[in-house]
Structure 1
Amino acid sequence: MKRFATLLETLALTPSRNRKIEALAAYFRDTPDPDRGYALAVLTGALSFTHVKPARLKEVVLAEVDPHLFALSYDYIGDLGETIALIWPHKGGTRQLPSLSELVELLNTTPKSELALLIAELLTSAQINERWALVKLATGGLRIGVSERLAKTALAEMSGTDLKDIEEIWHGIKMPYGDLFAWLEGRKPKPEIDHTARFHPLMLSNPIDEEKDFSNLDPADFVAEWKWDGIRVQLILGEGPASLFSRTGEDIAPAFPDLVENVFGHGVLDGELLVGNDFEPAPFNALQQRLNRKSATEKLIGEHPAFVRVYDMLFDGDEDIRALPWIDRRARLQSFFADQTQSRLDLSQLLPFSDWDQLGTIRRQGADENGHEGVMIKLKSAPYVPGRPKGNWFKWKRDPNLLDAVLMYAQRGHGKRSSFYSDFTFGAWRGNELVPIGKAYFGFTDAELKELDKWVRAHTIASFGPVREVEKSLVFEVAFDSAQASTRHKSGVALRFPRINRIRWDKPAAEAAHVGEVEALIPAT
């Protein structure tokens, strides 16, 4: 455990991406199985504990520490792991902690009624950095600047293996990843993963640079499609039940039985998960009601039936066609739809255009008339390459909506921002009352963050733990992709992907937007 705690501390304190990769590669190279496998699972979010939650950890600490002192400390620090590590009153280092794999076993098998005692004993035994690592391990909330891809890059660095080869098998292997490390170290062959039983890394797009890219790209070499307002999915069809994965490889098939039980054929398809009748996509908030659920009720299925708008094919039957150019994969996809009638799959349409100006007109009309997110631009000769290769796929999103909103609440950030008020809830007017319409935590520079933090502290009118209510006088110009009806907000509306476009130090709060202006932007259903 000591080695793992040191790794987490190094990663948290190291801003350099290359230094993080070096630290991870060294840890994976020098740490024995299965500890390094469980560390990999923690770092990539694959490991969780059913009964060890932040609330349980707080209960353990509050049994030993004054609640008011804990609240003040947590408010100041902003990170639960760091707060517990510093405030735990019992002297650490009394005995050596179990190994990482032994800790995982303990946290998984200890009865719920005995967990509090176990956690207290571990915290007392640990040094300060080990306490912090224990909380991070238990809750999974690392916030140390390590993504799944960074961890895989470190594995590639450690072993000299191509990153693409690691990604190819990633979603078919299980922790503690003994076969993975045996392959990476040349002790065993590459794990054989049936393509019908695993997720395949997706090909991603890059934002278009209108000034730079269009002058260097020949429109005759590209095709265009609508950018659909759903979620990216991969659908795997074969002899058994269909598999449905999100863009991160999460199995979401149980939440969409109406879809996976009514699709036919053999292959791996890439597309957009949407809801609606007769292949008419409903607004995103309708789909949102079905997301993040382990299962779907008959009522939800009836109100919001799911379908996939397909725009690429990775496997045609058992044949891997990812190396083929897009235009050939499209022909295979068209044949796939010609061979069987589908009630839950349809083919994404192509948008004919002769030059970039014409496509720009189509893009604007689609946003204004149908609420489309924008267009996708794809190179006809491009193979299907996992990751975000340059020059193959571009996304040309519609121009963002803008409105002026009033800052209502501010909350401390996490990680590097834990000392600053950086999460901002803002509202619009309903009569003489401000009601929340969204929350944003980016769109401003570091210098502006310091100014905002100073303003929040000087204009606080009430505090609620890590949240401060402020005077209703500071206006943000907020950029957002779309508006939608919301039962979670008192206003009845919410903004999708809001970000702070500009701080309007000069604008009176009375001149900010009214809820009716936001409601007018909600797409008709």
Structure 2
Amino acid sequence: MQAFSDLLERLILTPSRNGKIAHLVNYFTSEVNPARGWALAVLTGELDLPGVKGGTIRKLISERTDPELFRMSYDYVGDLAETVSLMWPGQRGANRVPPIDDVVEALRGATRAQGERLVAGYLDMLDPRQRWALLKMVTGGLRIGVSARLTKVALAEMGGVDPAEIEEIWHGLEPPYESLFDWLEGKADKPSPDIDAPYRPVMLAHPLVTKDKRDDPDAIDPALIDPDIFAAEWKYDGIRVQAVSANGTRRLYTRTGDDISHTFPDVLAAMDFEAAIDGELLVRAPDGGVAPFNELQQRLNRKTVSKKQMEARPAMIRAYDLLVEGDEDLRSMDFRTRRSRLEAFIGRVGGERFDLSPLVPVTTLEALEHARNNPPAPEIEGLMLKRWDSVYVAGRPTGPWYKWKRDPFLVDAVLMYAQRGHGRRSSFYSDFTFGVWREGENGREITPVGKAYFGFTDEELKQLDKFVRENTIDRFGPVRSVTATEETGLVLEVAFEGLQRSPRHKSGIAMRFPRINRIRWDKPSADADTLEALEKLLPEKV
């Protein structure tokens, strides 16, 4: 665990992307199999240790220390692994730090009782930094600023290959990935996993207008708005997926390559073709249109889905692109050719579960801008611009594709509650609940309408944290309630992509992608927006 804990510490303390990649490459190069393979599984979220859960860790620390002291410490620190690693009363006698592969291989086959005993023994052997690494490994949720994608980029740099090559074989590999490392080090050929219906790395777009130039009328080159150069299509508010069917195997992948086939058997049942389609996963509304994202969200992240759920929220895919048809890989063809093939393909196999993403006429910049901000349905986020001559390549190349989202909605809300973050934010109040005014039985009152934990700079986070600490009026475990009256309170300008009705929320509404756009130190809390004003932004009931 020594080398692995050292790696995690370096990754936490290194803010730059390139610096993190360098640390990962150095670790993968200097370590040997299978230790580095198990570390890779931890970093990419592929390691599952069913014998150890968060409840196990809480039980162990409560038995070793004063439970009330642990509760108070956990409340202050906000991170289970960090709290336990610092509080654990290690026992003398251990003279060996076990390597990560020994720990993983012991825990993988352990029952709950065995896992509890093993973890307690390891915590006794290790110092606080190594304990933290162990606990993050067994409970998940590293929060060290390293994604699975970044880890694969580091692997590609180590082996001098394209990251897309790793992505394409990833789902056919198993930890501890010895064949992968042998290939990257030139000791063996590229692994050829025997997997039908494989994932293909997706092509992504750059924003046409960056946030800092949103108010600049000259931010867009008018020459781009040319129907001979670019096609335009609607950007729907669902999740980007890849539907792949080959040799009798049918799979549904997210844009990051996660297999979600088990959650959408209704879509899989309709995949009576041999192809790979790039599109948007949506729920069809009763009127035949697209349902709000909240309806799709009710079906995501489920281990099983009932017939009733499928009937109430029928899933569908709006096809954007055709990557493979039969045995023919179309990705090296230009978008004009792929689009023509897609139209013919959907014409043959389309139906309730698959339809074609319509093109938007490209005429003038003014017409497209009007379409972007006034789409025909509230479930449309804006526009996509795609060069007719663009081939389909993995990653985010500059130039071929652009996304031009509609301007976000803005609301002035009052800060109500704050909660500590995790990882590098565990010492700060960084998760903020905010509300707007409404008329209650006893006059004006604030009702919560959303929660946000990003959109602000590190310096603004310090200012927000200071405000929370100085204006706390009550505490509920790790959550603080702050003063929020008409006379005293902090106004936050919140940006969001849309609203939908939600009986689960007290206000009756839910925000899509809320984030703090700016802190309104200048605005009195009494002048914040009202629930009535927000309700006017709701889409009309079908």
Q: TM-score range by the shorter chain?
A: over 0.9
Distance (Å, rounded) in 2 between the aligned partners of 1:395 and 1:37: 37
Q: Are residue 415 (structure 1) and residue 416 (structure 2) matched?
A: no
Structure 1 residue 215: Cα displacement: 4.0
- Taking the TM superposition and a 5 Å limit, the aligned residue runs for 1:327-476 are 327-366=336-375, 370-431=378-439, 432-472=444-484, 473-476=489-492
Shift of 1:72: 2.9
Distance in 2 separating the partners of 1:218 and 1:520: 33
Instruction: Quote the offset at 1:90 in angstroms.
Output: 2.2
Q: 1:313 maps to what in 2?
A: 322
Matched residue, 1:498: 514
Q: Could you say which residue in structure 2 is the equivalent of 1:205?
A: 205
1:231 to 229, 234, 239: 239
Structure 2: gaps spanning 5 or more residues: none
Question: What SS does the aligned partner of 1:90 have?
Answer: coil
Q: Distance in 2 between matches of 1:92 and 1:305?
A: 59
Q: In structure 2, how many angstroms separate the alpha carbons of the residues matched to 1:218 and 1:345?
A: 29
Whole-Å Cα distance in 2 between the matches of residues 255 and 460 of structure 1? 42
Q: 1:489 to 1:400 in 2, by over 3 A?
A: same
Deviation at 1:464, TM superposition (A): 2.0
Give how far 1:29 is off: 1.3
Q: Which amino acid aligns with 1:58?
A: R
Equivalent residue for 1:485? 501
Q: Deviations over 1:157-193 (max 9, x none)?
A: 2222222322222232221111111111112111224
Residue 137 in structure 1 maps to residue 137 in structure 2: yes
| Residue matched to 2:183 | 183
* Preserved contact between residue 171 and residue 200 of structure 1 (Cα < 8 Å): no
Name 1:155's counterpart in structure 2. Answer: 155
Answer with 193-202 or 219-228: which moved more: 193-202
The answer on whether the counterparts of 1:64 and 1:89 sit within 8 Å (CA) in structure 2 is yes
Q: Is 1:269 the counterpart of 2:277 in the alignment?
A: yes
Counterpart secondary structure, 1:271? strand
Contact conserved, 1:406 with 1:512, CA < 8 A, in 2? yes
Mapped partners of 1:335, 1:458: distance in 2: 63
Paired residue for 2:261?
A: 253
Q: How does 1:73-152 map to 2 (within 5 A)?
A: 73-91=73-91, 94-152=94-152
Please say if residues 323 and 329 of structure 2, whose CA atoms lie closer than 8 Å, have aligned partners that are also in contact: yes
Report the secondary structure of 2:59's partner residue: helix
Alpha-carbon contact 2:430-2:461 (below 8 Å) kept: yes
TM-superposition CA deviations, 1:397-448 (whole Å, max 9, x none): 1111111111111111222222211110111233233222111112222222
Q: 2:49 corresponds to which residue?
A: 49
Q: Higher mean Cα deviation, 479-488 or 204-213?
A: 204-213
How many angstroms does 1:375 deviate by?
0.8
Alignment correspondent of 2:230: 222
Give the 3 Å change call, closer, same or farther, for CA 58–353 of structure 1 in structure 2: same
* 1:17 paired residue number: 17
Task: From the superposition, tell whether residues 341 and 361 of structure 1 become closer, same or farther in structure 2 (CA, over 3 Å).
Answer: closer
Whether the 8 Å CA contact 1:8–1:133 is kept in 2: the answer is: yes
Query: Contact 2:436–2:528 (CA<8 Å) still a contact in 1?
Result: yes
- Structure 2 CA distance for aligned equivalents of residues 30 and 490 of structure 1: 54
Change (3 A) 1:164 1:242: closer
Change in Cα spacing, 1:194 to 1:312, as seen in structure 2 (3 Å) is: farther
Match of 1:63, SS state, is helix
CA separation of 1:503 and 1:246: change in aligned 2, threshold 3 A: same
Identical-pair percentage: 51
2-structure distance, mates of 1:92, 1:42: 28
Distance in 1 of aligned mates of 2:455 and 2:4: 34
- Could you tell me which amino acid in structure 1 is paired with residue 255 of structure 2? R
Q: Is the 8 A contact 2:239 2:280 kept in 1?
A: yes
CA distance in 2 between counterparts of 1:72 and 1:237 reads 52
Amino acid at match of 1:394: Y
**Counterpart secondary structure, 1:373:** strand
Please say which of residues 21-30 and 322-331 is displaced more in the overlay. Answer: 21-30
Name the Cα RMSD after superposition: 1.9
Cα pair distance change 1:445/1:370, threshold 3 Å? closer
Q: 1:194 to 1:214 in 2, by over 3 A?
A: farther
| Paired residue type of 2:148 | E
The answer as to 2:518 corresponding to 1:509 is no
Displacement of 1:195 after TM fit? 7.2
- What amino acid maps onto 2:281 in structure 1? L
Q: Do the aligned partners of residues 315 and 338 (structure 1) sit closer, same or farther apart at CA in structure 2, a change above 3 Å counting? A: same
Displacement of 1:20 after TM fit? 1.8
CA distance in 1, matches of 2:269, 2:514: 36
| Structure 1 alignment gaps of length 5 or more | none
In structure 1, distance between residues paired with 2:134 and 2:49: 12
The answer to whether the 8 Å contact 1:172/1:199 transfers is no
**Residues 1:281 and 2:290 aligned together:** yes
Distance in 1, Cα, partners of 2:256 & 2:18: 23
CA distance in 1, matches of 2:313, 2:64: 49
**Inter-CA distance 185–350: structure 2 relative to 1 (3 Å threshold):** same
Helix, strand or coil at the partner of 2:279 = strand
TM-score scaled by length of structure 2: 0.92
How many aligned residue pairs are there? 524
CA distance in 2, matches of 1:503, 1:348: 38
**Any idea what the Cα deviations from partners look like across 1:308-340, whole Å, max 9, x if unmatched?**
000101112111111111001111112212334
CA distance in 2, matches of 1:481, 1:365: 13
Cα distance in 2 between the residues matched to 1:92 and 1:208: 60
